[in-house]
Amino acid sequence: MIIRVKAAAVNPLELLILSGRVKLIQNYSFPLTLGNECAGIVERVGKSVTGIQKGDHVYTRLPLNRIGAFAEYVAVEQQAVAKMPAGYEFATAAAIPLTGLTAYQGLVEELEAKPDETVLIPGGSGSFGQMAVPVAKALGLRVIVTGNDRAREQILALGADRYIDYKKENYWESLSGIDHVFDALGASEFEHELSVLRKGGRLLSLRTGPNRAFAERHRVSLPKKALFALAGRKYDQAARKQGRNIVLCLCAPTARSCKK
């Protein structure tokens, strides 16, 4: 279908693409039209499209190999498109798909988190945490977030069970036995995050990686699997010594996530 773009979101992924830090996962050719998510109005639909028609207000997280939301129009398959929630502005809806699907996929498909388990989200006071916290609570998880003091009340209002101001308290000194860590900070926090996990606990990072576990779960080619294993070796070794499981990179929400 063809969508007339009314609003597109800018997020850290654009910077990662521009800096070349996602080359192992998706090696884009330049010049390139950026933009991973947008909201707009359906202009045209193909013969096989059902449930969506011309004039509908929709939002989408574009497939990794077909990004380009910073444009007047985008062409996208139906499986990556959903109707906007009633009452939402285009600007609000455009900021939902990537973050929302990343939070859901990370918790359900990568961490395989179960109700009553605890997830720690270091650096969860920003836009990712604002989406991840309600998703985690809807899944029945106990949620602990670290971040700046300005976001405390907002994150607690979204359902977080505990909020730690990183300027006043070191979470690795007060937490232990955590089931899952959903990292939004990167390699600098790896050792601290690993230390608070229980034996067999899982760590998923959005900013560190990728590693062998990611390659195996996403069935990448053998050459990429070797590269991912090399890139994440030191993290994998550290995790194995402590009996923890890690997935160091979350590539993109899958079609399977979109359908759930």
pLDDT tens for residues 70-118? 999 999 999 999 999 999 999 999 999 999 999 999 999 889 999 999 9
**pLDDT at residue number 16:** 79
Q: Out of 50-64, 133-147, 197-211, which region has the weakest mean confidence (pLDDT)?
A: 197-211
**pLDDT at residue number 121:** 97
**pLDDT at residue number 245:** 75
Q: Is 143 left (phi over 0), alpha (psi -120 to 50) or beta?
A: beta
Going by their DSSP bridges, the two strands 81-83 and 118-121 should be labelled as unpaired
Structure tokens that stand for 253 in this block: 């929400």
CA-wise closest residue to 199 among 174, 172, 179, 182: 179
Collapsed DSSP state (helix, strand, coil) of residue 206: coil
- For residues 22-32, give the mean pLDDT: 78
Q: How many CB atoms lie within 10 A of CB 147?
A: 23
**Is the separation of the CB atoms in 184 and 206 below 8 Å?**
yes
